[in-house]
Structure 1
Amino acid sequence: LTFDKLEVASPDGCTRLAETDVEIQAGERVMITGDPRAGKTLFFRAIAGLWPWGGGRIGMPAGETPFFVPRTPYFPLGTLRDVLNHAEGAKIDDAEISAVLGEVGLERLSSRLDRSARWEHELADDEQRL
């Protein structure tokens, strides 16, 4: 993903974000942060092709689409196992789930894989983003 002389503007023409040359490599993870009115949402809309105001070039590898993680994660109803399998799209075995939970400091949840809960209420905000 590349940004060449990127300028993202508000509809009234006010520049909200400007970057000269940025390249994000395949597999590289980037977190976009900033003040509430810094233009983060406009930036994501521009990457998705949904924001026409501004200039410069956003380059995507052929056949690739970016993956965006929302500020507030979505947790479907169900067991923790269902939630984790939903996110992955395939069945993950217990050993792998436990290993990953341990890597992110949530090993306490390994014994609760088959418990149904409103996980957005059970996990702290920072835990939900892991």
Structure 2
Amino acid sequence: MLTADEKQLVLHAWDKVQGHQEDFGAEALERMFTTYPSTKTYFPHFDLHHDSEQVRHHGKKVVTALGNAVHHMDTLSKTLSDLSDLHAYNLRVDPVNFKLLSHCFQVVLAVHLRDEYTPQLHVAFDKFMEAVCNVLTEKYR
């Protein structure tokens, strides 16, 4: 679980994401599709080329959902329940993909935040993303 200080680090970093949700989300998805090509199988109907409108739109949805989670860290299960249901029961996404996207999103943060993405922020954000991944996969059990 995140400490109070770690929660503040995540919240402060999220302020830097505001206004860039579509860009950061698309970049994370493109990075995931390139680095882990098997993840493309869940998007057969998408144009997966660089800067595709579909990838940008979905990236924004992903990062908007993460922002909702950031602002409700103490109630993640409730906050992400609908997304957990959707991915487990309807989309049947392999749970490992959440961790892959988490890693890619953290790389995007590190690239854009540069020196502000300190080791302490990395640890805090990693813990936060792990908690998000755990909630998104709890319906699979």
Q: Which structure has the highest helix share of the two?
A: 2
TM-score by length of 2: 0.29
Higher relative contact order (CA 8 A, sep 6+): 2
Higher strand share: 1
TM-score by length of 1: 0.31
Larger radius of gyration: 1
